[in-house]
Chains A and B, each alone.
Chain A
Amino acid sequence: MSTFPSDLKYAKSHEWARSAPDGTVTVGITDHAQEQLGDIVYIELPVAGRAVKAGESCAVIESVKAASDIYSPVSGTITEVNAELADSPESVNRDAYAGWLFKVQSSDPSELAALLDADGYRASIGE
């Protein structure tokens, strides 16, 4: 059974977003997504400094059975990526909410507000 922390926002495309007071949004994939993907073997991350739009593909997760695009839930500039994933992509399987992928300096706070909350996301995947 997947977990859905209530302090996070969620995208229908299975990313979670955690906002900090300075406007930085940390992005990862949900516990449900990592369960569906199976063993993750490689994560391709964007370069820091890249500008992204909400819904734009900016990372790829390869598991033993699929390769999936990861979409930024908000618009802004990538400020940091989780470099530890290069050596241990499986940490996303271990704890999807600790194994963040990248951080975005958000340029439009309304996008974050428009994301799903935990109950909304849970409903969207039928759990």
Chain B
Amino acid sequence: MLAAIGVAGVEQLFDEIPPELRARPLELPEGLSEMAAARLMAERAEHNRPLLCFTGAGAYDHHIPAAVWEIAQRGEFYSSYTPYQAEASQGTLQVLYEYQSMMAGLTGLEVSNGSLYDGASALAEAILMALRINPRKRRILLPRNVHPAYRKVVRTLVSHQQVELIELPFDPAEGRLDPAVLGDYEGMEATALVVPQPNFFGVLEEVDALTDWANRNGALAIGLVNPVSLGLLKPPGAWGAEGAALACGDGQPFGAPLNGGGPYFGFLCCRKRDIHQLPGRLVGATVDRDGKPGFTLTLQAREQHIRRAKATSNICTNQGLLATAAAIHLTLLGPEGLRRTALQCHGQTRKLAARLSRIAGVEPLFTGPYFHEWAYRLNRPAGGVLDRLMAEGLLAGCELSRDYPQLGSAILTCATETRDDADIEAYAVALERALAS
């Protein structure tokens, strides 16, 4: 084949790539037999220790009913592959259609795509979508209390698209945006304002005031939401007088185990009038030529297998399996189950906050209302305390000073419905010991 195309060797095909960018040869040991590999993995797995998880910061330890993965792992669903229309069964399409319907209902918007990679890339896609809907000055207002990793991903994905990302300060006492500071950003013709709910610190934003400000100033409001919180809180589509135009976030709390940080999935919802700017797969309900109901991928001209360079996104996939698990998870919970889960998360976090606040050397970091995460300040370096708690079997939280040095020694912690009162007491007692030593 090389001779046929007039090339001396495989290496020559890579001449375009400058030598300094080429991958260096990997220094790998010889391959292992299946038996040896299984033994090695078993030995490595013994280093895993079960930890009582009080850490959120973007990934949440929720109870996943056994039926979720029992169903999702059936042969009809279980694939990492995202099928094209000609390969997709009606069952696969229907479950994605149901997923979309549930997410649209939860966010209070009309349309959901069939999912995206994760929450961070969903936010980046929402921002790129906002730039297509509302070009203006290509300025995006991004609060500093949006997840630090999300802000990095957004910066990476939009950095070559002539977009100005303007980071908004949060109120250091409340931990949330003060809508009054937005006065400084009037008249700059921003494309969109990102509104996190809850924000990275778990604090609830004044979403109505922020959304109204955006709509009044010709900017789109992008709701970045924790999907479990929507069991209790007002959906983005109902924020303020006119609602947020877009809602996005990470769907991990719906059926995805924590694993090692993935795979999770992202969601992105919009109004029907903006559907042609929505990236990703979309399943529609239709009828066949005999009038029988059916499901089909639709509006595919948005996608890169039809439109190539001008597609709405060149990250052209959905997280089919994770979205399937989410649809099953939500079906099992139902609206009332989701509401009770959210309520339980909030209630346990309130108990945790109240209990830890009684410990000498611990004080609440922020005064703003919170959902299921709560941050506290310590009178000594947080890293050492977290290490001690880890030694006692507790994953006690996320050290905030890595991303927010100005907040001092502070820990962001989380209690979901899986943390009962005894767990909370165990955390408090271990923390008391750590601070007394």
Contacts and interface: CB of A to CB of B under 8 A. Distances in A.
Nearest to B277: A44
Nearest to A69: B310
Contacts, number: 21
Nearest to B311: A67
B35 interface: no
Interface in B235-289: 276
A66 B310 contact: no
Given A62-B301, A63-B301, A67-B301, A44 B306 contact: no
Chain A contact residues (Cβ within 8 angstroms of B): what range?
10 to 19
B310 A42 contact: no
Interface residues of B, number: 7
A109 B378 CA distance: 75
A60 B299 CA distance: 14
B276 A66 contact: no
A62 B310 CA distance: 12
B355 interface: no
B307 interface: yes
Nearest to A43: B276
A66 B311 CA distance: 11
A56 B8 CA distance: 42
Interface string A59-76: 010110111010000000
Contacts of B276: 42, 44, 62
Contacts of A67: 301-302, 306-307, 310
A62 B299 CA distance: 9
B314 to A, nearest CB: 14
B380 to A, nearest CB: 59
Q: Which of A41, A60, A62, A67 has the most CB of B within 10 A?
A: A67
Contacts of B310: 60, 67, 69
B173 to A, nearest CB: 44
Contact of B306 (A42, A66, A69): A66
Interface in A53-110: 60, 62-63, 65-67, 69
A62 B307 CA distance: 10
A66 B305 CA distance: 10
Contacts of B301: 41-42, 62-63, 66-67
Interface string A11-32: 0000000000000000000000
Contacts of A60: 310
A116 to B, nearest CB: 26
Given A42-B301, A63-B301, A67-B301, 18 more contacts: A41-B299, A41-B301, A42-B276, A42-B299, A44-B276, A60-B310, A62-B276, A62-B299, A62-B301, A65-B306, A66-B301, A66-B306, A66-B307, A67-B302, A67-B306, A67-B307, A67-B310, A69-B310
Interface of A: 41-42, 44, 60, 62-63, 65-67, 69
> What 8 pairs across the A-B complex have the smallest Cβ distances?
A67-B301, A62-B301, A67-B307, A67-B306, A42-B276, A66-B306, A44-B276, A66-B301
19 contacts: A41-B299, A41-B301, A42-B276, A42-B301, A44-B276, A62-B276, A62-B299, A62-B301, A63-B301, A65-B306, A66-B301, A66-B306, A66-B307, A67-B301, A67-B302, A67-B306, A67-B307, A67-B310, A69-B310
